[in-house]
C-alpha cells in the first residue's frame, strides 16, 4: 500500500508535519527493496523517567545548527545529511518507543571556557529540551507536532542572552544558498572555533553561532537550566 493510500494519509505523502519547521540528521542505510532507507540521529532517553528504554529524535530549529552538527558527527564514508522533518518517516521509531514520539530539541552546543566539548565518538555535546507525545495509532500516517513559545523557552532564552533577537531571520537566507556555499559557511564556523576539549571538561557555557556576523556567542549554561526549570513548571 502506498502512503497516499494509507488511512488518514496526507495528499503530500508526508508523515510528519511540524510548526515551526524542524530539521533532522539522517544517514542512508539502503535495504533490499528500500534503496532510500535512512536512520536518523537520536539520543537515548532517560529509562528511569520514562519506565522503558527508547530513543529521542534529535531535531533542530536552526538549519545552520543542523549542518554544523552534521559536520561534527559525520565520519569518512558515513556522512550525515540534513533534511526537513517532513521528509523523515518516524513510524518505525514510534513503534520501537512503544507508541511514543520523543524529541530532543537542539538549543545549543555545550562549551567549556570558549571551546566546544566533544564526545568520544566525535559529536559535540548539545543542550536540548526533551518533549514526548503519545501517538494515536489512528493518526500514525499524519502526525502533527506544534510547538508553542512555552515549549521553546530554553531555545529562545539562550538566543536572547546572546543578543540574537532576530535569529530566525537567518534561516531562509542560509537555506537559499547552494549546497557548496552552505558547506563553506559551516567551515567558517568551525575555523572560528578555538578547537574542542574532551568530556573531562564540564560544559559551563552554551555556544551559539551567528552565521550573519560569522561569530560565536557564549552564554552561561545556567541561563539554559533556569529556562528548563520554567518549562517544567509550565508543563
230: Cα separation from own chain's centroid: 21
Cβ burial, residue 134 (10 Å; 0-12/13-18/19+): exposed
Predicted model pTM: 0.91
User: Which residues neighbour 206 within 8 Å (Cβ) at sequence distance 6 or greater?
Assistant: 107, 108, 109, 110, 111, 127, 158, 218, 219, 220, 221, 223, 224
Distance CA 98, CA 91 (A): 11
What cell does 141 get? 500516517
Backbone φ/ψ region at 49: left (φ over 0), alpha (ψ -120 to 50), beta:
alpha
The pLDDT tens digits for 136-192 are 999 999 999 999 999 999 999 999 999 998 888 889 999 999 999 999 999 999 999
pLDDT at position 4, please? 38
Query: Mean pLDDT, to the nearest integer, of 106-122?
Result: 93
Residue 156's H or E segment, with its range, is helix 153-161
Kindly report the average pLDDT of the chain as a whole number: 90
Q: Is the pLDDT of residue 235 over 60?
A: no
Going 204 to 187 to 166 to 103, the CA torsion angle's sign is negative
Buried b (16+ CB within 10 A) or exposed e, 64-91: bbbbbbbbbbbeeeeebebebbbebbbb
- Would you give the distance in Å from CA 21 to the centre of its chain? 11
Q: Report the percent of the chain where pLDDT is more than 90.
A: 73
| Rounded mean pLDDT, 28-51 | 84
Q: With 50 as the cut, is the pLDDT of residue 5 above it?
A: no
Amino acid at each position: 500500500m502506498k502512503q497516499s493510500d494509507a488511512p488518514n494519509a496526507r495528499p503530500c505523502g508526508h508523515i510528519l508535519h511540524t510548526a515551526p519547521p524542524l530539521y533532522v540528521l539522517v544517514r542512508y542505510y539502503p535495504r533490499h527493496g528500500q534503496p532510500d532507507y535512512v536512520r536518523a540521529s537520536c539520543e537515548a532517553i532517560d529509562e528511569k523517567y520514562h519506565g522503558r528504554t527508547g530513543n529521542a529524535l534529535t531535531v533542530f530549529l536552526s538549519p545552520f545548527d543542523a549542518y554544523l552538527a552534521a559536520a561534527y558527527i559525520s565520519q569518512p564514508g558515513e556522512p550525515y545529511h540534513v533534511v526537513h522533518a517532513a521528509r523523515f518517516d518516524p513510524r518505525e521509531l514510534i513503534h520501537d518507543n512503544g507508541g511514543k514520539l520523543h524529541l530532543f530539541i537542539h538549543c545549543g552546543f555545550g562549551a567549556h571556557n570558549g571551546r566546544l566539548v566533544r564526545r568520544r565518538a566525535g559529536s559535540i555535546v548539545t543542550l536540548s529540551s526533551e518533549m514526548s507525545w503519545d501517538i494515536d495509532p489512528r493518526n500514525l500516517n499524519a502526525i502533527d507536532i506544534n510547538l508553542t513559545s512555552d515549549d521553546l523557552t530554553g531555545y529562545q532564552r539562550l538566543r536572547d542572552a546572546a543578543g540574537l533577537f532576530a535569529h530566525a531571520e537567518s534561516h531562509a537566507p542560509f537555506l537559499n544558498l547552494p549546497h557548496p556555499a552552505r558547506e563553506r559557511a559551516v567551515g567558517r564556523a568551525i575555523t572560528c572555533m578555538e578547537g574542542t576539549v574532551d568530556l573531562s571538561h564540564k560544559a559551563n557555557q552554551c555556544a551559539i553561532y551567528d552565521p550573519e556576523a560569522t561569530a560565536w556567542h557564549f552564554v552561561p549554561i545556567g541561563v539554559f537550566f533556569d529556562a528548563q526549570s520554567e518549562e517544567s513548571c509550565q508543563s
